[in-house]
Amino acid sequence: MQKPVCEPKRVPWIDRDQSILAFNERVLDWAARAEVPLLERLRYLCIVSSNLDEFFEVRAEPHLMAARARDHRGGCSVESFEALSGIAQTLVARQYAIYNDALTPAFARVGIRVLSHAERNASQRLWVKQFFAREVRPLLLPVALDPAHPFPQVANKSLNFIVRLSGADAFGRHNEIAIVKVPRVLPRLIRLPRHRAAADMLFVALSSVIRAHLSDMFPGRDVVQFSQFRLTRHTELAVDEGDVKDLRSALRQGLQHRPYGQAVRLEVSSGCTDHLTDFLLKQFDLPAGALYRVHGPVNLARLAQLIDLVDAPALCFPVYEPARPSQLVAGVSIFEQLRRSDILIHQPFESFDGVLDFLREAVHDPDVLAIRQTIYRTGADSALMDLLREAVRRGKEVMVVVELKARFDEEANINWAELLESIGAQVVYGVVGLKTHAKMMLITRREGRTLRLYGHLSTGNYNVRTARLYTDWSHLTADRALTADMASVFVHLAGQSRPARLRNMWMAPFQLQRQLLQKIEAAGDAAARGEGGRIVAKMNALTDDTLARALLRAGQKGARIDLIVRGACVLPAQVRGISDNIRVRSVIGRFLEHTRVFYFRCAGVEALYLSSADWMSRNMIGRIELAWPVTDPVQRQRIVDEDLVAYLHDGVDAWDMQSDGTYLRVHSGDGAQQYGAQAALMRRHTRRSNKPTGKP
């Protein structure tokens, strides 16, 4: 008998922003693990710091504005601001506790130390003083505040010092506050020369160098109080696409103002006096809840420089070289291989070079006439973009859909767009009001008297660097139905015409959400009939209310649902009487989980889709996204084995959501050999060992 569906008001939905912070707590756990190599622990600490920066830059402003106005705005309020502030404060405190109490002593035990001024001996202090005078002091310009010298513009996430002075200035005035802005060009960590460090690797922080010589910048006056401080600003670019004639120019202009948006967070040294913090909070119009006192450098993310400065492979993960894609045969044309069967590449366990080889062959093949590609994130230095430039030089028709609004990659994408246009490529910017997030490449090749299409679809970006760090699926295909759909999507993106009816693909914002809802409902109905309904979905985030409610209904009808969600998830799991049949798992490993895989089984009939889209409202209605089926049973089983079964059995890097919305790290039973999905996949693709199979 079908279970009654609960009323929506009874569902204890999880707050999206709090869920994002909870994800960072899971990442931070890697920095606390003694079994993780030391420099990698530092790397995870820095990743969390960088993630928090982005959280405040993107997500904090609505809560802050609601708190300032003391009203409710779009789900934000004084209460939501205070709740997020409390969670973030706890997370930051744990960060610095790990850095000071665990990592710093551990580094000291292996001869790596970042010396404070008090820890430096006379010889080291002399070297630092000379370094300051030679490399730092010429770039600093202290500004003493008075009516003619207002508070200087402070850029987003820049290092600064606030100083309180006693005595009078050269003109007899008692202007007590001064600001010292620290240029970004200066390194945040400096290694002491070997003759000053004995056998150890010794470093000094730039903030410590400046702090030790602040008085040198104010001759005739005494520094009585000081603190380093760092301001985080809101950085979302607000561009009304319907009201601009040239989106590229508007975005480039907006990028110039991004470093000076609304202030949302103020970080100061733990010893900063109330007098100075009150002054800064008033200056930036911030409430006390936006103040973060830290026990160390105000920007932990910049400590990542230490990883590059220390040459100690033993303190890092063993180097992993991605395997050559198992389905690619060396020395045989990729086009010829694709005419026989599709090819899957599981990155980073298999090399992204397979995708580059596909494009490279197309660029150098005289029978290839045209190349079309979407560009979301490629990076500033891109081998793939170099290949597209070479294709233009060889006379091929190159059409690129560049997403100018890819957050924090806007400038790189604008530069690539201008460069490609300058050499004759056709560049378009997708559909007004929608981000083009779909990842696809389409090759048109003359074969005899016909033209044949070859395609590449991906869950990830065309970025060589992140392809070694993110887990993604690349799907190379010559399937006529899939490539015809891809051609229709490119026509839609270029001409903005009504998209043709797609035969195999689902495209947002048109069919994707509706088709997912139908699949979810079908699984629930099959379970209610006693025929068995199964859903396993792997993604980065699940925050779309419509899809979350559909999953809840399907689970209440009896469908077994496993959600492998790396980051934010608003759907509660294992709540008695509400979501008993739903499990939510997050896997945080050496590589960033990035694949989107959607598996449905109804009455024994399987369907599996790969996608560029997470289950978020913005992906369903605000972006051009694609999901496409993997119909070959062998290929489908491979994805099930490697990306679903493997992760559902992970007992090392997995976290399971509890009924109260918190996450508990999974541990294998006592005496059992622990199984980590990513480690197993690295071994599998390195040794080509036998692969376990099964149903998820």
Pick from 315, 349, 373: which residue ends a domain? 315
| Contact criterion met (CB below 8 Å) for 349 and 322 | yes
For residue 262, CA distances in Å to 60, 61, 276, 285 come to 10, 8, 20, 9
Residues 310, 384: one domain?
Answer: no
669 vs 588, residue with greater confidence = 588
For residue 304, is it within any domain? yes
Mean pLDDT of 557-585: 97
468 pLDDT exceeds 90?
A: yes
Would you put residue 529 in left (φ > 0), alpha (ψ -120 to 50) or beta?
alpha
Mean pLDDT of 335-353: 97
Per-residue pLDDT tens over the stretch 656-672: 999 999 999 998 655 44
Residues 390, 433: one domain?
Answer: yes
Residues 256, 351: one domain?
Answer: no
The region of weakest confidence among 209-213, 495-499, 580-584 is 495-499
46 pLDDT exceeds 60?
A: yes
**Mean pLDDT of the residues in the chain:** 90
Residues 386, 526: one domain?
Answer: no
Pick from 504, 531, 564: which residue ends a domain? 504
- Sorted by sequence, the CB contacts under 8 Å of residue 29 that are 6+ apart come out as 588, 665
pLDDT value at position 540? 97
Nearest-angstrom CA–CA distance, 520 and 563? 13
Mean pLDDT of 605-632: 96
CATH number of the domain encompassing residue 150: 3.30.1840.10
276 vs 169, residue with greater confidence = 276
Q: Compute the chain's Rg from CA coordinates.
A: 28
The region of weakest confidence among 161-175, 366-380, 404-418 is 404-418
Residue range of the domain that includes 151: 16-315
For residue 325, is it within any domain? no
Per-residue pLDDT tens over the stretch 173-202: 778 999 999 999 999 999 999 888 877 899
For a pLDDT cut of 90, what percent of the chain falls above it? 76
Pick from 459, 482, 504: which residue ends a domain? 504
Q: Which of 190-204, 258-272, 569-583 has the highest mean pLDDT?
A: 569-583
Mean pLDDT of 421-433: 80
230 pLDDT exceeds 70?
A: yes
For residue 677, is it within any domain? yes
For residue 570, CA distances in Å to 16, 53, 63, 164, 657 come to 6, 22, 18, 46, 11
Q: What angle do CA 574, 81, 46 make, to 5 degrees?
A: 80
pLDDT value at position 692? 45
- Assess whether the previous peptide bond of 366 is cis (omega < 30° from 0): no
For residue 219, is it within any domain? yes
3 pLDDT exceeds 50?
A: no
For residue 170, is it within any domain? yes
Residues 467, 536: one domain?
Answer: no
For residue 637, is it within any domain? yes
Specify the pairing of strand 397-402 against strand 654-657: unpaired
For residue 650, is it within any domain? yes
pLDDT value at position 655? 97
690 pLDDT exceeds 50?
A: no
Residues 557, 591: one domain?
Answer: yes
* Calculated CA dihedral for residues 301, 305, 310, 311, nearest 10 degrees: 110
| Contact criterion met (CB below 8 Å) for 453 and 471 | no
pLDDT value at position 7? 45
Residues 398, 491: one domain?
Answer: yes
Residues 141, 175: one domain?
Answer: yes
Q: Which residues are catalytic?
A: 437
Residues 300, 346: one domain?
Answer: no
Beta strands in 150-301 (DSSP E): 159-166, 177-181, 189-191, 201-205, 222-233, 263-269, 291-294
pLDDT value at position 238? 55
Residues 390, 311: one domain?
Answer: no
Per-residue pLDDT tens over the stretch 493-513: 888 777 778 999 999 999 999
Per-residue pLDDT tens over the stretch 348-406: 999 999 999 999 999 999 999 999 999 887 776 678 889 999 999 999 999 998 877 65
For residue 660, is it within any domain? yes
CATH number of the domain encompassing residue 440: 3.30.870.10
Residues 340, 420: one domain?
Answer: yes
Residues 456, 473: one domain?
Answer: yes
pLDDT value at position 254? 57
Query: How many structural domains compose the chain?
Result: 3
